[in-house]
Structure formats: C-alpha cells, structure tokens
Amino acid sequence: MPDRDKSSENIIEPDITVEYIFIERAEKQVKPINDDQGYLMGFINVFISGRFKNDNVLAFKTQILNELNYSVKTYDHFKSESIDLSEYKFGLINNDRTVTEFTVMNEAFFKALMDSIRNFMIVGTNFNIEKFKHHEIFDEWFDNYTNRI
C-alpha cells in the first residue's frame, strides 16, 4: 500500500470544473437534434494553481480537443473520426438558460468561460441552440450535470 499512499499525495484537486455537452456537427440541422448526431456530456478540470497549470485558452483548447478526438474514435455513435473546432461554435449557459455564443475558442471566450458558471456547449456552426434548449437531452444535462448555484 505504500505506492498507493504516495500516488494519492500527487493528486491535484481542480480549482474549476467546466461541465460541457458536445453534439456532433451535421451538414444540415433539420430539427433540434438530428437522429444521426452523437452527443456526450462531460467535464474538464481547469487548474489555476499548483505545479500543473491548464489555465489558459491554448491548454484548455488542447485538452478539450484531445478529449473529443478520443471520444469520437472510441464510441460508435459518432460519424466523425476527428474534430476540427473551426466547424463548431461554443455556447456558455447561465442559471437562467441564457446562452452567449462564440464562434471561436479565443481569449475572449476563455475569459467569459472563467467569469461564468462554467457550463458550455460545443455544437456545429449551423446548430440552433435556442431550439435545442427545449430538448430532453438539454434538460438532462442542465438539470443533472451543470454547475448551477
């Protein structure tokens, strides 16, 4: 058990947890979520102290891209083999279900994410987030997984 004790000493607790929902892009959005679109719910830890830091947009983007690329290769309900973030937009959601959309994951997005309640969506650029907010998948994610106060 000494190795186990030693490894637990190296665990770094996250300062911020970002809850997100990812919905694979579709060429055409014909309803709030198409039957052929895969989705997942997850979380990303953001560290703002300690030896390891991923508290900047580049580290965050790399981390989310690695996680999404792993997911689309691992789970058979996705059509894509890899993710290109330029084909997606990003929505930050607050307690009132108000969405602020960003077309790029840049410094302005990252600052807004850190200042927000840290719930965000990654969806195709032609995805209608407002229509999706009334879908059961959104309700499940918002009610059960998001960082609400």
Amino acid at 17: T
Q: Which two tokens stand for residue 127?
A: 């995805």
Per-residue model confidence (pLDDT) at position 8: 65
Number of domains comprising the chain: 1
Query: Which CATH number does the domain housing residue 24 bear?
Result: 3.10.20
Whether residue 149 lies inside any domain: the answer is: no
Percent of the chain with pLDDT over 90: 66
Whether residue 118 lies inside any domain: the answer is: yes
- Statement: residue 131 has pLDDT above 60: yes
Whether residue 22 lies inside any domain: the answer is: yes
Which residue from 20, 7, 95 is spatially nearest to 60, judged by alpha carbons? 20
Whether residue 100 lies inside any domain: the answer is: yes
Rounded mean pLDDT of the chain?
89
Whether residue 12 lies inside any domain: the answer is: yes
User: Residue 118's domain spans which residues?
Assistant: 2-144
Per-residue model confidence (pLDDT) at position 61: 94
pTM for the model: 0.87
